[in-house]
Amino acid sequence: MNAPKITVLGGAGFIGSHLVRHLRELDCDCEVPERDDETIFRRPLGRVIYAIGLTADFRSRPLETVEAHVCLLRRLLQTAECESLTYLSSTRVYAGSADTRESAPLCVNPNDGSDLYNLSKLMGESLCLHGGRPGLKVVRLSNVVGLRREPDIFLDQLLEEGCRTGRVVFRTAPESRKDYVHVDDVVRLVGLIALSEATGIYNVASGEGVTNREIAEALRAEMGFEVSTVPDAPAWEFTAIDISKARDLFAYRPRKFADYFPGYLQDYRRFHSA
């Protein structure tokens, strides 16, 4: 039996590189085209995972954000030869929503510059779901914990600050919470979704919020950082991400934050000291 051919676009990035490693361990025929490789529009790609995107710098690069999340995708859907396509989106699109099921209606505000990211991801999702191509699916990723070189999520920004100064200052209240999921759980589930015949939208998250207080305790215990919170820090809280669809269809059982985070902190220390 021939190994399934998978093309990972954005395979040099954080999520993409972990996906490529995982898929090759499964003996998939995994290809990672170079950026700006025009041949992807003229040759068979097999199953495509679209991991191209901008994260932390979308505010300073709005045009590049839309190009990555929408324009290149549109061209691919119009011209490329692929069996299926899995588009990596974000659970950020649930901001301000009390319902985080994949079928929930969502609210965005074009007057808010922060919503440009959500709008571009939602446009990409809509192209996948309603662009007239079969076999398309959308994965909404939560805050992914894993070793990366650029601190583009909140946790890594804290760790960078702590390693540089020995201190971490939280600017949001201790009860503030977010959803964090380990990259190994992410790539296993994304691989299953991409190789399956399933279509539609899938949340890939932990399903549980982690508070700043829990993070602070781990940073003190495992890293020895001095931790404080600015006076009158505002509290924010994201609604827990519903993962029942992935759990029911793919037997998805992500690890608990408390189970993997201490080990991740030690890996982080070794990775960045090297």
List pLDDT tens digits, range 95-111: 989 999 999 999 999 99
Q: In sequence order, what are the residues at sequence separation of 6 or more whose Cβ sits closer than 8 angstroms to the Cβ of residue 58?
A: 65, 116, 117, 120
Residues 138, 139, 145: CA angle, nearest 5 degrees: 160
For the segment 116-142, what is each residue's pLDDT rounded down to a tens digit? 999 999 999 999 999 989 999 999 999
User: What mean pLDDT is predicted for residues 219-246?
Assistant: 94
Mean pLDDT taken over the chain: 94
User: What mean pLDDT is predicted for residues 10-21?
Assistant: 96
For the segment 30-80, what is each residue's pLDDT rounded down to a tens digit? 999 999 999 999 999 999 999 999 887 888 899 999 999 999 999 999 999
Instruction: Please give the Cα distance from 224 to 134 (Å, whole number).
Output: 52
What are the residue boundaries of the structural domains of the chain, listed by start?
Answer: 5-144+180-204, 148-177+208-238+256-273
pLDDT of 2 higher than 80: no
Burial tier of 247 (Cβ tally within 10 Å: 0-12, 13-18, 19+): middle
pLDDT of 146 higher than 90: yes
CATH of domain 5-144+180-204: 3.40.50.720
User: What mean pLDDT is predicted for residues 6-12?
Assistant: 96
Q: In sequence order, what are the residues at sequence separation of 6 or more whose Cβ sits closer than 8 angstroms to the Cβ of residue 166?
A: 224, 225, 226
pLDDT of residue 1: 54
pLDDT of residue 271: 85
Which CATH fold topology does 148-177+208-238+256-273 show?
UDP-galactose 4-epimerase; domain 1 (3.90.25)
pTM for this model (two decimals): 0.95
